[in-house]
Structure 1
Amino acid sequence: MCRVIGITHFDWSKHRTIIERFCQLARTGVVMAEDPPGHLDGWGLAFYREGRLVVHKSGASILDERERLFTLLDGAPTAPALILHLRKSAWSGTSSTRHAHPFFLGNNVFFHNGVVYDYQQLLAQITPPGPPDDARDTEVFFHHVLSRPGEDLGAQFLASVATIRQQHHFSALNCLFSDGAKLYAYRDFAREPDYYSLFKAAAGDSCFISSEVLDAGMRWELMAKEEFLAIELGETV
């Protein structure tokens, strides 16, 4: 469970306010009806620099490490795509850097909001070596995606989603992910649609995908259930 934002044509000088507002969701973001407030169980940042993926993760709250994040962005003020994630753990004992999102392999990076409850059943369909033994649902989901036939990450993802939807039990499959050429977004849920939201917007030459509306001056549109976006890093929605 989490809050997540993705931005194409990221420019720290233009998007600082959006990032600051997003970080506040660690304290004020929407939670499910039975849950206490807060998305405080870690954070993760991913962006591309000269075509190569850069990832920073922490098991601490972004509220305690805001300056660390801002220092990282001071050092990488522009990027073709940036994704930032605030974690609310669904699994006890996993509030750690190891289990913070994103998960990544090569130039592929993957963020997920939701729970695949029976994720262990996906392991048999994953190409060895697969994820570590302590992997939870999102990391297993990611490896399941990469184990689908073909070389198109979007098509591999949709094949994995089809299997999970047909054969497994989940709360939501909201995802942001990238291969460095495209930013992908997907929204699907089996419960709590108000929590498992994803909104899309555009401003200037940037696209925004966010769990919550962050700027009332922008036109945000709620993604439909099962809506899938593949945004070329260079296009707007």
Structure 2
Amino acid sequence: MRIGVVTFPGSLDDGDAARAARYSGAEVVRLWHADPELYGVDAVVLPGGFSYGDYLRCGAIARFAPVMETIAKGARDGLPVLGICNGFQILCEAHLLPGALTRNQHLHFRNRDQKLRIEAAATAWTNGFDSGQEIVIPVKNGEGCFVGSEELLDRLEANGQIVARYVGENPNGSMRDIAAIRNEAGNVVGIMPHPEHAIDLLTGPSVDGLTFFTSVLAHLAGAAQPVEEEVAA
């Protein structure tokens, strides 16, 4: 299985994302923001960082990168896409995920190990977890506060589109403690904390993050439970 990792000007976690994908057993393909070609990858990761310097809004320029046009089309056709931190912001700006990420409510950058609870286990990127499972992965952001209208938040709740919530102290003020969401189909996931920094105990607080990457391999192999089955249950 081939996982593509995109590099934008200002990306700083693309190497870590590639390492995590490689640890999971995938072949890694490095993708460049100005090249629309995906080179036959089976899934895509949009990494953390400060794409295009985070001018305007975070992710607002990156959404117009040539590679994003191809990724957006692929995502609408079922291509698994994971947006991490800045990648989550890009997915929202590209309207592949609803809502928006804004400045942390306390106006401070947060960098710490964070406990999360997995709320939706039947996505392309979380099928290796159990619903309700608590994990620990790092969070590091200054604009990680997820916001949306009450109508949107109610819809995300009703559709099972909230993938993970913060447990304990909310690091950025995200509404309803939302740390990750998915699209309706379950192939696109945006997460503010960094699973790529928790793939081995030498460099991270846990190995919980690796499951995001092994999950997509299981999904691609057809071993994952369809999203519709979990929602119906």
Fold match (TM-score > 0.5): no
TM-score (norm 1): 0.30
TM-score (norm 2): 0.30
| The structure with more helix, counted as a fraction of residues | 2
